[in-house]
Structure 1
């Protein structure tokens, strides 16, 4: 695969690339660059993990990128996920691996890395201290939004270690590419700045879109606060669609979702079409009664968007058909957890844990 084709694969899901020129040079000089996606294991998988991020990973693997799935168990411990119970957090991590398997990810092509494994040595903590020396306390406090905390929120001393530790992971794993959501941007900016200061390899950052929750856009004073308030959160059942929803649970959630007629901005259902449905299907067929115009096929998101904002597609018809297409994607995952004993046991355990933040 040539360099420009690889670049286009990355741009197909990236909201931001820091920087495209650096990424192009990387592909021209390295056939198998190393990337990662990391997260704190907790709660039940929503569609932005099981569908959106899995689709991004498939594109990276197509481009020849080697990939680490980073299970940030100790970060979840620091951030008080699942009550800070490390054993439960690690069980949740194993459950999330099963979700990606069920989504069709070839886990043999992905290296699973636990934070607790790489932290077990002086070399890691030596790097943490070197990174921390290059970051002001003010920058650390601003960066605490990467763990879902508001600026000014009361934090433990342990949580202040979180940003320099996340930056250190990037260098300790010798990553070429950081592939996470836009909500992790502050950590990657810090990593690039620290790399310049310490003369370490500068990571390229590829940031994907943060999927809106069912409640739609929640405008706040700042762009960052708006992002945090609006995103789909696995800890909030009213905002999230989970990978285990039954058809009727899914239908009920979609039917109550924010979906104003003729409006694209802040409309979560249009987002699900753009970032999930059209990434997994070549076209989207809207089934509707003949008296309302009959069936119509959209070959891409722009066609669908145009019809919707022009009033040629009613919210009820959009909701009905988003439900149908999401069900097609969720059903195989649901069935995997019903058939596979190990997966089912992990799911039942994680479902029993109390969600904390």
Structure 2
């Protein structure tokens, strides 16, 4: 796959495409970053962004992963000591998921986020945006936003300042990060920095076809055992021949095909024998035409996901 195809693969939005195309033409090794609040559980949302970072690395980007320990502390995620321990563990998980530690710049937020220049930038940014807009930017990423703490209003300003201080060309994240990224595009030029390009990847459905939620237990976690993952996949929503809003097909599109040159669907000879797909579009064509059964793709998804998550399970 060529460089441009890798960068655009499985992306929901690029702000803006013209800027991205100009960047790719101008720089041999552009820079991109993703920020992660340290979390006790690495889940498939993390795997999705790691897959995108691998695409960027293969396209020649230099990658920074921000382990946002201070952000997590301000977002009510635990004591600073607990969060830093989780951040160390998360770093090991990201490496196990495929990020090359020799090619990836892992940065702890607390190593620069109390520096005078950084804090001055945060204060400058607080003068640019209203409280209402700042609160709206946190709606999808903040904890207990019905009654937010002051720290959670500073959080978006810090995320914007991160982009400036890390000096990256591209900010990458889920589409839930869009409102904060738009603050960065608007605010950074006003305090002397370039506006970043922003690349957003979609939020994936839960296994039941509804919004992914820990309360609904409709998600895959890396600490699910092989047997637990297989059990979840058997129950997953996968209507025959339906392509839209099909969470099992999404697993192939966003998680499996980006990592494998081909996918083998093992089937008994009486049902037509094995099928090999070399790209996701081939699977869509077969499935929509009724030539491959939902149970075949569920079982295959479980097999490949267990292979992907195996190295991370070994850290638990």
Q: Which TM-score bucket, shorter chain as reference?
A: over 0.9
Listed one character per residue, the Cα deviations across residues 234-275 of structure 1 (whole Å, up to 9, x for unaligned) are x55812212233221110111122222222222211000111
Is 1:330 paired with 2:306? no
What is the rounded CA distance, in whole Å, between the counterparts of 1:240 and 1:128 in structure 2?
35
Alignment correspondent of 2:80: 86
Contact 2:75 2:143 in 1 (8 A): no
Does the residue aligned with 2:138 lie in a helix, a strand or coil?
helix
2:64 matched residue in structure 1: 68
Corresponding residue SS for 1:107: coil
Q: Distance in 1 between matches of 2:153 and 2:229?
A: 38
Q: Which one of the candidate residues 94, 113, 118 is aligned to 2:112? A: 118
Q: How many residues align?
A: 316
Are 1:182 and 1:208, in contact at CA under 8 Å, matched by a contact in 2? yes
For residue 210 of structure 1, give the secondary structure of its aligned residue in structure 2. Answer: coil
The runs of 5 or more residues in structure 2 that have no matched partner are none
**Which runs of 4 or more aligned residues in structure 1 lie more than 4 Å from their structure 2 counterparts after TM superposition?**
none
For normalisation by structure 1, the TM-score amounts to 0.82
Does the CA-based 8 Å contact 1:79-1:147 persist in structure 2?
Answer: no
2:267 paired with 1:288: yes
What are structure 1's unaligned runs of at least 5 residues?
218-229, 338-346, 348-357
Supply the distance in 1 between the matched residues of 2:209 and 2:156 (Cα, whole angstroms). 29
Determine the C-alpha separation between the residues in 2 that align with 1:291 and 1:249.
29
Alpha-carbon distance change, 183 to 66 in structure 1, aligned in 2, over 3 angstroms: same
**Distance apart, 1:279 and its partner CA:** 0.9
Structure 1 residue matching 2:14: 3-state secondary structure: strand
- Does residue 304 (structure 1) correspond to residue 283 (structure 2)? The answer is yes
Matches of residues 138-153 of structure 1 in structure 2 within 5 Å? 138-148=132-142, 153=146
Q: In the alignment, which residue of structure 2 is the partner of 1:270?
A: 249
Q: In 2, distance between residues paired with 1:123 and 1:195? A: 14
Q: Is the 8 A contact 1:146 1:186 kept in 2?
A: no
Three-state SS of the structure 2 residue aligned to 1:307 is helix
For residue 222 of structure 2, what is the aligned residue in structure 1? 243
Q: How far, CA to CA, are the matches of 1:61 and 1:265 in structure 2?
A: 30
Please state which structure has a larger fraction of its residues in helix.
1
